[in-house]
Amino acid sequence: MSKVQVTIDDQAYEIEVNPQQRTGDELMIIVNGESVPVTVPGIDDHTPLDWLVVDGQSYEIALDDDLRWIGDTKGLYRLTIRDMDVAVARPPSGDGRVKAPIPGLIARLLVEEGSQVEAGQPIIILEAMKMENQIRAPRSGTVSQIEVREGQVVILDQLMIEIT
C-alpha cells in the first residue's frame, strides 16, 4: 500500500493505492477515506498517461514531466505530490545532488559516472504511479557519483546522482 498526499491547486487529497489489488487496468484507490474505481489504460506498457477513468467519468489529462502541474480540458493546475509514508520530507538540496522527487522505480539511467551534463538535461527516467518522469540535471557539470541502478526502487528524497 502506498499513501500520498496530492494537492491540485489548493485542494489536498489523501490517496492510498495498492497496486497488487487490481483487475486488468482497474485499480481501487482510496481518496480521503472513500474507495474510488480508477481505470488507467495501458497500466503495464509504460506509455505516457494521457487519459483515465475515475468513478465512471473519463478524463483527458496532461502531466508535466516533473509533476509540477496537471492539465485537463478546463485548464492547468499546480500539482504537488508528497509521500505520506516518509516521516520527514527535506527540501531539494540546491546543489548538484539529485534526489528522488517522488517514490518510484529507476526505469533508465541516461548518464554514467564521468558523463558531462548540461543544466536541464534528462539524466534519469523515474517511473512513478505507472508514469515515466524525466529527472533533469539541476546544473551543468560532471556526474561524479551514481547511487542507484536500473530496476531499483527509490523513496522520496533518496540521493540518486551527484553532479560536481
The domain ranges of the chain are 2-83, 97-163
Rounded CA gap, 30 and 55, in Å?
Answer: 11
The pLDDT of residue 96 is: 86
Tens-digit pLDDT profile for residues 93-146? 457 899 998 888 999 999 999 999 998 899 999 988 778 888 999 889 999 999
**Closest residue by Cα to residue 127 from 50, 5, 8, 44:** 44
Q: For the chain, report the end-to-end CA distance as a whole number of angstroms.
A: 36
pLDDT band at residue 161 using 50, 70 and 90 as cut-offs: very high
As assigned by CATH, the class of the 97-163 domain is mainly beta
**Rounded mean pLDDT, 46-52:** 76
Rounded CA gap, 148 and 145, in Å?
Answer: 9
**Taking 60 as the threshold, does the pLDDT of residue 89 lie above it?**
no
pTM for the predicted model, two decimal places: 0.49
**Closest residue by Cα to residue 3 from 92, 99, 131, 103:** 103
**Closest residue by Cα to residue 92 from 10, 160, 4:** 160
Cell for 87? 516521516
Q: Beta partners for 135?
A: 124
**Taking 90 as the threshold, does the pLDDT of residue 160 lie above it?**
yes
Range with the poorest average pLDDT among 8-12, 20-24, 43-47, 69-73: 43-47
Tens-digit pLDDT profile for residues 55-68? 888 989 888 777 78
Which overall architecture, per CATH, does domain 2-83 show?
Answer: 2-Layer Sandwich (3.30)
Beta carbons of 14 and 32 less than 8 angstroms apart: yes
Beta carbons of 13 and 5 less than 8 angstroms apart: yes
